[in-house]
């Protein structure tokens, strides 16, 4: 008899985000010796997984591929005495960045997420390009971005800081918080939904914020460098925690350079102000450079759109297009290699048959 999810004690899994969608996705893998689980932390060849009987360490080596599991993944586990991950369930969303070395594949930072919390420290000047980049990755994941301004207690004018952030995050909720004074934490809690992942540069206060939401100091934090206010990369693992009031939170290590993958239509969400203007341009394929009747150009001239924001939009567009072409080259190469190996297998089969005759 195969065990249906209904027969499994689910309290520990529900705390980690189990619901109808996941139950449905797990159904084809259900079996007498298979249990569902959620990956809470990944190590080389192993991972910690929340299962119906608690969180256990499981072997991930049975899976192949460069980046087989990632924090937030739902998996199927077999083997009670030496548990191993035998399958990764289809992801509902994934936060993806372009690999830093620009040669290998993309890296999945978190899976099955509903909210992406972008941590922006109010103790540092606003870095618009970085916020836009993080938003591009967030929108592209399929989850909803929220900006958490952190360390509001260290800012002379948190409202002005928030306004500057809002200017580069149209349509995104911006919540001003301080883990020190607890200001804004309730608003942030209200903005979270399902599984949230916190991203941002090192030292932004991601882990401190996560601890504040968890209500316990479960995660180590580290002081920023006095000289430039940058963090010291205290967090090294992506770690999933279940929140006391329901919901799930993934803390992540500080992002160094964040290369965007082919984010496609996500840029229209990041730059929805420019997208809105572009609809009113005289030409449908307007490049917003020299065309007559260009609503984007007119908005720049009128001081309604910052010229540098348009410039950053172009930069990200170019990067995304380049990644798209790179990925189509990669797909073509993969196809060619696969065709080659198929014809190699066929030749081997014919040789084998000929010998049999
Ligand atoms: N004054 C003040 N300091 C804060 C606040 N939040 C975080 N900090 C401090 O900022 C420093 C960095 O915080 P972390 O939470 O370790 O930062 P992080 O983003 O997790 O950094 P990495 O793990 O390196 O990516 C620590 O010294 C925190 O105490 C806050 O709301 N107010
Ligand atoms: Mg941290
Ligand atoms: Zn135009």
pLDDT per residue over 59-88, tens digit each? Answer: 998 887 766 899 999 999 999 889 999 999
CA distance 196 to 12: 18
pLDDT higher at 112 or 330: 112
Residue linked to tokens 């601890």: 211
What is the mean predicted confidence (pLDDT) over 213-229? 93
Which residues lie at CB < 5 A from ion ligand 3? 281, 286, 288, 294, 296
If you measure from the C-alpha of residue 322 to the centroid of ligand 3, how many angstroms do you get, rounded to a whole number?
22
pLDDT higher at 264 or 193: 193
If you measure from the C-alpha of residue 93 to the centroid of ligand 1, how many angstroms do you get, rounded to a whole number?
28
Among protein residues, the one with the nearest Cα to ligand 1's atom 23 is 235
**Tokens linked to 161:** 């800081």
If you measure from the C-alpha of residue 183 to the centroid of ligand 3, how many angstroms do you get, rounded to a whole number?
42
Classify residue 292 by its DSSP letter. T
125 contacts: CB under 8 Å, gap ≥ 6: none
What's residue 1's pLDDT? 41
**Is the confidence at residue 38, as pLDDT, over 80?**
yes
Closest C-alpha among 127, 128, 147 to residue 205: 147
List, for residues 129-176, the tens digit of each pLDDT value.
999 999 999 999 999 999 999 999 999 999 999 999 999 999 999 999
pLDDT higher at 67 or 183: 183
CA distance 191 to 174: 10
**Tokens linked to 36:** 């569902």
Ligand closest to 177 (CA) is 1
| Closest ligand 1 atom to 222 CA | 16
Fold exhibited by the domain 5-88: OB fold (Dihydrolipoamide Acetyltransferase, E2P) (2.40.50)
CA distance 28 to 212: 38
Topology match between the domains 5-88 and 94-251: no
CA distance 43 to 238: 10
Domain ranges of the chain: 5-88, 94-251
What's residue 167's pLDDT? 96
Centre a 10 Å sphere on the Cβ of residue 306 and count the other Cβ atoms it contains. 15
Beta bridge partners, 133, equal none
What's residue 6's pLDDT? 47
37 contacts: CB under 8 Å, gap ≥ 6: 13, 49, 50, 51, 56, 58, 74, 75, 76, 77, 85
Among protein residues, the one with the nearest Cα to ligand 1's atom 27 is 223
230 contacts: CB under 8 Å, gap ≥ 6: 201, 202, 203, 224
CA distance 51 to 57: 10
Of the residues 185, 201, 203, 225, which should be mutated to test ligand 1's pocket, given the most ligand atoms within 8 Å of the CB? 203
Can you say which residues are annotated as belonging to the binding site? 150-153, 200-208, 281, 286, 288, 294
Closest C-alpha among 291, 70, 76 to residue 195: 70
Among protein residues, the one with the nearest Cα to ligand 1's atom 7 is 205
**Is the confidence at residue 355, as pLDDT, over 60?**
no
CA distance 40 to 77: 14
List, for residues 191-217, the tens digit of each pLDDT value.
999 999 999 999 999 999 999 999 999
If you measure from the C-alpha of residue 296 to the centroid of ligand 2, how many angstroms do you get, rounded to a whole number?
39
Find the angle CA(133)-CA(116)-CA(237) to the nearest 5 degrees: 90
Classify residue 31 by its DSSP letter. B
Lowest mean pLDDT among 84-93, 144-153, 312-321, 340-349: 340-349
**Is the confidence at residue 340, as pLDDT, over 70?**
no
**Is the confidence at residue 235, as pLDDT, over 70?**
yes
Among protein residues, the one with the nearest Cα to ligand 1's atom 4 is 151
If you measure from the C-alpha of residue 146 to the centroid of ligand 3, how many angstroms do you get, rounded to a whole number?
29
If you measure from the C-alpha of residue 314 to the centroid of ligand 3, how many angstroms do you get, rounded to a whole number?
13
Beta bridge partners, 96, equal 108
**Tokens linked to 157:** 């004018």
The CA distances from residue 213 to 17, 112, 243, in Å, are 16, 20, 7
CATH of domain 94-251: 3.40.50.300
Lowest mean pLDDT among 47-51, 262-266, 337-341: 337-341
352: Cα separation from own chain's centroid: 48
What is the mean predicted confidence (pLDDT) over 20-40? 95
Q: What is the mean pLDDT of the chain?
A: 90
Is 155:161 a contact under the CB 8 Å cutoff? yes
What is the mean predicted confidence (pLDDT) over 303-325? 93
What's residue 247's pLDDT? 96
Ligand closest to 278 (CA) is 3
Alpha helices in 168-304 (DSSP H): 185-191, 206-214, 266-270, 272-278, 295-301
Q: Ligand 1: residues whose CB is within 6 Å?
A: 150-151, 153-154, 178-180, 202-208, 221-224, 231-235, 253-254
158: Cα separation from own chain's centroid: 27
What is the mean predicted confidence (pLDDT) over 29-43? 95
């Amino acid at each position: 008899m195969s065990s249906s999810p209904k027969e499994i004690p689910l309290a520990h899994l529900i705390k980690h985000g189990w619901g109808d969608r996941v139950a449905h996705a797990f159904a084809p893998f259900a079996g007498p010796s298979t249990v569902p689980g959620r990956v809470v932390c990944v190590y080389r060849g192993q991972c910690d997984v929340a299962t119906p009987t608690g969180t256990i360490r499981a072997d991930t080596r049975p899976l192949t591929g460069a980046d087989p599991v990632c924090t937030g993944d739902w998996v199927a586990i077999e083997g009670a005495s030496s548990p191993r991950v035998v399958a990764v369930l289809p992801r509902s969303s994934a936060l993806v960045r372009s690999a830093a070395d620009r040669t290998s594949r993309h890296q999945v930072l978190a899976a099955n997420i509903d909210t992406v919390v972008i941590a922006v420290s109010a103790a540092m000047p606003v870095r618009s390009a970085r916020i836009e980049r993080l938003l591009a990755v967030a929108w592209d994941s399929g989850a909803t971005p929220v900006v958490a301004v952190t360390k509001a207690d260290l800012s002379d004018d948190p409202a002005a800081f928030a306004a500057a952030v809002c200017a580069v995050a149209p349509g995104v909720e911006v919540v001003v918080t301080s883990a020190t004074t607890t200001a804004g934490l309730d608003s942030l809690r209200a903005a979270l939904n399902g599984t949230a992942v916190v991203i941002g540069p090192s030292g932004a206060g991601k882990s401190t914020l996560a601890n504040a939401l968890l209500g316990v100091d479960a995660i180590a934090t580290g002081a920023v460098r006095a000289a430039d206010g940058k963090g010291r990369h205290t967090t090294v693992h992506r770690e999933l925690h279940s929140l006391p009031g329901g919901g799930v939170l993934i803390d992540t290590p500080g992002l160094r350079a964040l290369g965007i993958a082919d984010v496609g239509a996500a840029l229209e969400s990041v730059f929805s102000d420019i997208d809105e203007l572009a609809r009113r341009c005289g030409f449908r394929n307007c490049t917003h450079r020299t065309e007559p009747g260009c609503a984007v150009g007119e908005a720049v001239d009128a001081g309604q759109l910052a010229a540098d924001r348009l410039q950053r939009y172009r930069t990200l567009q170019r990067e995304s297009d380049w990644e798209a072409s790179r990925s189509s080259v990669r797909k073509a190469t993969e196809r060619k290699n696969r065709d080659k190996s198929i014809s190699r297998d066929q030749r081997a089969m014919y040789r084998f048959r000929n010998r049999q005759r």
